[in-house]
Structure 1
Amino acid sequence: MNILLWHVHGSWTTAFVHGRHRYLVPVLPDRGPYGLGRARTYPWPAAVQEVTPQELPGAEVDLVILQRPEEYELACRWLGRRPGRDLPAVYVEHNTPKGDVPASRHPMADRDDLLVAHVTGFNQLFWDTGTTRTTVIDHGIVAPGVRWTGELDRFAVVINEPVRRWRVTGTDLLPLFAEIAPLDVFGMGVGGLGERLGLPPERLATHEDLPQERMQAEIARRRAYLHLCRWTSLGLSLIEAMAIGMPVVVLAAAEAAVAVPPEAGVVGTRLETLCDGARRLVAEPETARRLGAAARRTAADRYGLDRFLADWDRVLEEELCGSR
């Protein structure tokens, strides 16, 4: 199958393109948000091919994966065909609703020409998609090539744009945990974060735009992983940390509340509970090791790549056959 999709979320796309299909990824000269092309910090297989808008009208495309509302019009213009009408389309919803959440209408609501695939059950529950068909395909990850060692009494955090997103990503909560152990914050747009939070470099260090393999190797040396997001879908970096074998400290919000069982880490909505658990992980390395082992089993059982790709193959085949 020839699948057209935009490079939007690096970890999710990396897992998706490890399937058995051919993947066409738009590229623009400036490699902006609608033309990133192949990933530069993630390892992608040769089955992923860059394609320019000028090449798309003549390209063989069997199905379109949409991930942002603007991509529908782009696909119509660049392909000369309408996703959902002239060829099958699946809209992948990565995000939790914004604004008036109980009444949030999905941008693809009330459509009979495509399927909305949510990446979590929480998202499917909270988005109002009207009469549009929906399904849930839980995340999957490419298994990291490193294992947790935890020899550094420090916490690892992965956040993209922590200053702009602030309370959404729990950035304001980081100083509480920096009092327990130093923090290493990885991600895009993390420069200057310590200064913004009033934390000296010895309490918060930032690491920006590292290749995925190097970042995971660094994270694996930290004692535990912090996931303090209040309102995000489900951070794949959290699942990757669990797959490494790291114990996790998790704010029980959105899908994270059910993705992490109690035996895999410290999970709760009370900050004192999370802080007490974080102190225990620093003081008791064997406890950290035991929770991390359970986290690794959970990640393998629930978020393995084979299950993810099998789920997607089933949906893709159903949509392709249903359009004939």
Structure 2
Amino acid sequence: MRVLLWHVHGSWTNAFVRGEHEFLLVAPPDGVGLAGRDWPSAREVPLSDLDRGSADVAVVQNPRELPLVPDGMPVIYLEHNTPKAPNERHPMADWPGRLVHVTHFNALMWDTGSTRTTVIEHGVVDPGPLYTGELPRAAVVVNEPVRRGRVVGTDLLPRFAEAAPLDVYGMGTELLGPMGRGDHGMADLHREMARRRVYLHPVRWTSLGLSLLEAMCLGMPVVALACTEVGRAVPPGAGVVSNDPDRLVRGLRELVSDPDAARARGVEARRTALARYGLDSFLKGWDRLLMEVTA
């Protein structure tokens, strides 16, 4: 079928467009279109060219997109984020359409009223077992760490840096000083991450980061705060998960100093990520929902 959507989250869209459908990405200036991505199943479409018959269904990801969908086209609302608080009312609460969450934690915490909700967990395009761990350092991926502050654990980075040198990737990381490595294309990012011995996930409150799942697919061991959905994503054998910063600092120091232990944890991380967040179950979940909504 033909699926209309806005290209909002690059890694999520990269997985979604692997499905056996035709994907119509809203072109600039009303969207970002392909944004330079090589996605054979997707093409850019100006919003002005769309009418009810242009697509079979639309997937929208924020409220301002909803009125731009042609009248009469079935709509699915996709929510990527956690609420600011567990009692926050979702913008699509008591809506007659279907709302999709990317984690069970998010579904539990949002108040969606009578809206029908579904959880379709993330799918990850496997970057391959690129892990070498040759550098006794930790990789962190987070966008705008200075602006987002405690939410993404920016205040904890100096504490972790006492246990191992940190390389922080993402938009706006240059503001962190020497540890900031800036934004990278996906292929370059994965190669650089895989050379580091450990992946550090210091995030307190956000939806399950796809960079964490990608790190696990690379074969990286994980040191992470046990917040939001991390407890489900990262099994005990894949690294160290705790809300005790001292325990995490010790775990980071131990894994960085023991390449064999780090590699063994990384093998388990990759096995779990592929089994739980592989493309097959992700795409099948979306296929079922798309068929249901357009029936």
Q: TM-score, normalised by structure 2?
A: 0.97
Equivalent residue, structure 2, for 1:92: 78
Correspondence list, 1:96-111, <5 A = 96-98=82-84, 101-111=85-95
Counterpart-to-counterpart distance in 2, 1:102 and 1:210: 34
- Which 4+ stretches in 1 moved above 4 angstroms? none
Instruction: Tell me if the contact between 1:28 and 1:36 (Cα under 8 Å) persists in the aligned partners.
Output: yes
Aligned mate of 2:288, from 285, 301, 314: 314
Counterpart-to-counterpart distance in 1, 2:284 and 2:38: 19
CA shift, 1:59, in A, is 5.9
Deviations 1:275-323 (A, max 9, x none): 01001101111110110000000001000011110111011101111xx
In structure 1, the residue corresponding to 2:152 is in which secondary structure? coil
Which residues of structure 2 form unaligned runs of 5+? none
Counterpart-to-counterpart distance in 2, 1:316 and 1:224: 38
In structure 2, the residue corresponding to 1:57 is in which secondary structure? coil
Equivalent residue, structure 1, for 2:4: 4
Counterpart-to-counterpart distance in 1, 2:126 and 2:86: 35
Counterpart-to-counterpart distance in 2, 1:153 and 1:24: 43
Equivalent residue, structure 2, for 1:158: 141
In structure 2, the residue corresponding to 1:224 is in which secondary structure? strand
Instruction: Tell me if the contact between 1:10 and 1:39 (Cα under 8 Å) persists in the aligned partners.
Output: no
Equivalent residue, structure 2, for 1:197: none
Task: Quote the RMSD (CA, aligned, Å).
Answer: 1.2
CA shift, 1:111, in A, is 1.2
Instruction: Tell me if the contact between 2:163 and 2:250 (Cα under 8 Å) persists in the aligned partners.
Output: no
Deviations 1:175-213 (A, max 9, x none): 01111111111111112212xxxxxx2xx1x22231101
One-letter amino acid of the counterpart of residue 265, structure 1: G
Instruction: Tell me if the contact between 1:145 and 1:213 (Cα under 8 Å) persists in the aligned partners.
Output: no
Aligned mate of 2:217, from 238, 243, 258: 243
- Please say if 1:234 is aligned against 2:218: no
Equivalent residue, structure 2, for 1:198: none
In structure 1, the residue corresponding to 2:86 is in which secondary structure? helix
Instruction: Tell me if the contact between 1:25 and 1:38 (Cα under 8 Å) persists in the aligned partners.
Output: yes
Aligned mate of 1:50, from 44, 50, 56: 44
In structure 2, the residue corresponding to 1:309 is in which secondary structure? helix
Counterpart-to-counterpart distance in 1, 2:124 and 2:104: 17
State the aligned residue count.
295
In structure 2, the residue corresponding to 1:102 is in which secondary structure? coil
CA shift, 1:146, in A, is 4.8
Aligned mate of 2:32, from 29, 36, 47: 36
More deviation in 49-58 or 20-29?
Answer: 49-58
Counterpart-to-counterpart distance in 2, 1:21 and 1:119: 20
Cα distance change, pair 58–121 in 1 and its aligned pair in 2 (3 A): closer
Counterpart-to-counterpart distance in 2, 1:163 and 1:269: 22
Equivalent residue, structure 2, for 1:298: 272
Counterpart-to-counterpart distance in 1, 2:136 and 2:207: 29
In structure 1, the residue corresponding to 2:59 is in which secondary structure? strand
Deviations 1:244-287 (A, max 9, x none): 00001010000112211111110000001100100110111111
Identity of aligned residues (%): 56
Counterpart-to-counterpart distance in 1, 2:196 and 2:86: 38
Equivalent residue, structure 1, for 2:247: 273
Which residues of structure 1 form unaligned runs of 5+? 195-200
Correspondence list, 1:252-291, <5 A = 252-291=226-265
Q: TM-score, normalised by structure 1?
A: 0.89
Instruction: Tell me if the contact between 2:223 and 2:251 (Cα under 8 Å) persists in the aligned partners.
Output: yes
In structure 2, the residue corresponding to 1:60 is in which secondary structure? coil
CA shift, 1:66, in A, is 0.8
In structure 2, the residue corresponding to 1:39 is in which secondary structure? coil
- Please say if 1:222 is aligned against 2:181: no
Counterpart-to-counterpart distance in 2, 1:155 and 1:54: 47
Correspondence list, 1:68-147, <5 A = 68-75=62-69, 79=70, 81=71, 86-98=72-84, 101-112=85-96, 114-147=97-130
In structure 2, the residue corresponding to 1:87 is in which secondary structure? coil
